[in-house]
Amino acid sequence: MRVIEASSSTPTTTHQHRCPFHHQPAAVDQKTALRWSSGAALEGGPDGVWRVRDYRIARQILKSEQTRQAGFRAELLEHLEGRMRPPVLFQEGPAHHEQRRKTARFFTPKTVSSAYRGLMETLADELIGELQRRRRVDLSRLSMRLAVQVAAHVVGLTNSRLPGMDRRIDAFFAQPPAGPGRHLGLALAALRNQWRISLFYLLDVKPAIRVRRQQPREDVISHLIGQGYRDHEILTECITYGAAGMATTREFISIAAWHMLEQPALRARYLAADEAERHAILQELLRLEPVVGNLLRRATADLQVETEHGTVTIPAGALIDLQIHAANADESAVGAHGRQICLGRDLKAEGITPAGLSFGDGHHRCPGAYVAIQESDIFLQRLLALDGLRIIRPPTLTWNELIKSYEVRTFIVALS
């Protein structure tokens, strides 16, 4: 086993940042590190998997052109090679760069604010109004409805034959037990997924394609039609955006609300802040609680990685597991108290953003980062300003193996 130890100069508990909250040295604020794996900064295990827990090493790998996507069931694409173009999540090289360049206009801060802010505010007001009427709701369901509607407008999924797209997408990413026998269980799970995909296509994707073939709009589906994508290729892209723009934002809204409802000083600071500071607070929470906890890459050539102990070669074909919870808590990059909430954090690594690697990095960095932060902020501002809002039942946390993320479920809040 090849092991690269963490730097001996890693900060410990010195308190030289600007955080206004007192921290106990051994305290941990993280709620969601369900697959937290302690260990060396970089190690190649006997199973052939290289595990990365160091921020700088992880960033090198994410920015490298000598890797390809290995998560989100990338292996299934091998069976489809030649029959369809891969979705943007799995594209590499010039084709990927060109597609990202062409779709970037849908996700710029200017576009998000001008085209979608009003929608976000209207949806947030409607959902908060529902809470005020009912007095008690499952916040995980409320946040899903918000995330689905916002992402649907960006992608172009706005012509569904029946309501309930949020439930259809939620069912698609759910992973119930496979069944009594391994082979039978796998077969049944495959049939369930095919049925869910078919429903999503017939009720949500196909109607949107039909409308946009007749009258293109400024959204992703119209762009894909203009690029000559076939219906099944557009379906695959919509599933990809469903995971990225709907399921993950839903989880973050719930986890951010959980932290702030349990910490009155943090909630008060957030509500008193201007937009820039609120966004910074949300990014700090996302750094601490990255929704996608593991990013997987496959080395396409011998990959040279620079570490504090010299150059290490990850061999071609190796699977690389980038452990984002650990990388985001790497104190040599994020400063002291890496597993605690710290406003005004003293970030140390070159090029680091307040959210760390929670949106990824390099050519596969999540394009919808600003969409996620802005819609979360618009909703949470309204939610947390409600007098008498309290947690009735803390949520249940589980792990979704498909997208390597935590899931926040049955989060009951109420107004007194």
Q: In the predicted model, is pLDDT for residue 131 greater than 50?
A: yes
Burial annotation 96-121 (CB, 10 A radius, 16+ → b, else e):
beebbeebeebbeeebbeeebeebbe
What gap in Å lies between CA 235 and CA 30, rounded to an integer?
Answer: 36
Mean pLDDT computed over 124-143? 97
Confidence of residue 245 (pLDDT cuts 50, 70, 90): confident
- pLDDT of 17 reads 45
Confidence of residue 240 (pLDDT cuts 50, 70, 90): confident
What gap in Å lies between CA 247 and CA 151, rounded to an integer?
Answer: 10
Q: In the predicted model, is pLDDT for residue 1 greater than 50?
A: no
Q: Cα torsion at 261, 265, 267, 268 (round to 10°)?
A: 140
Q: What is the CATH number of the domain that holds 11?
A: 1.10.630.10
- pLDDT of 153 reads 93
Q: In the predicted model, is pLDDT for residue 326 greater than 90?
A: yes
Q: In the predicted model, is pLDDT for residue 409 greater than 80?
A: yes
Based on the structure, what is the number of domains in the chain? 1
CA angle 397, 400, 403 (to 5 degrees): 135
- pLDDT of 177 reads 44
Mean pLDDT computed over 166-179? 67
* 19 token code pair: 């955080």
Picking from 53, 406, 85, the residue whose alpha carbon sits closest to that of residue 230 is: 85
Q: Which domain holds residue 228?
A: 2-415
What gap in Å lies between CA 150 and CA 204, rounded to an integer?
Answer: 15
Mean pLDDT is lowest, of 87-91, 246-250, 251-255, for 87-91
Q: In the predicted model, is pLDDT for residue 184 greater than 80?
A: no
What gap in Å lies between CA 112 and CA 107, rounded to an integer?
Answer: 6
Mean pLDDT computed over 211-223? 95
- What are 3-47's pLDDT values in tens digits? 554 443 333 333 344 566 666 666 789 999 887 778 899 999 889
- pLDDT of 178 reads 43
pLDDT over 70 percentage in the chain: 86
Q: In the predicted model, is pLDDT for residue 175 greater than 50?
A: yes
Greater confidence (4 vs 327) lies with: 327
Q: What DSSP string runs through 142-198? A: HHHHHHHHHHHHHHT----SSS-HHHHHHHHH------SSHHHHHHHHHHHHHHHHH
Confidence of residue 398 (pLDDT cuts 50, 70, 90): very high
Mean pLDDT computed over 105-115? 90
Confidence of residue 188 (pLDDT cuts 50, 70, 90): low
- pTM for this one? 0.89
Mean pLDDT computed over 124-138? 98
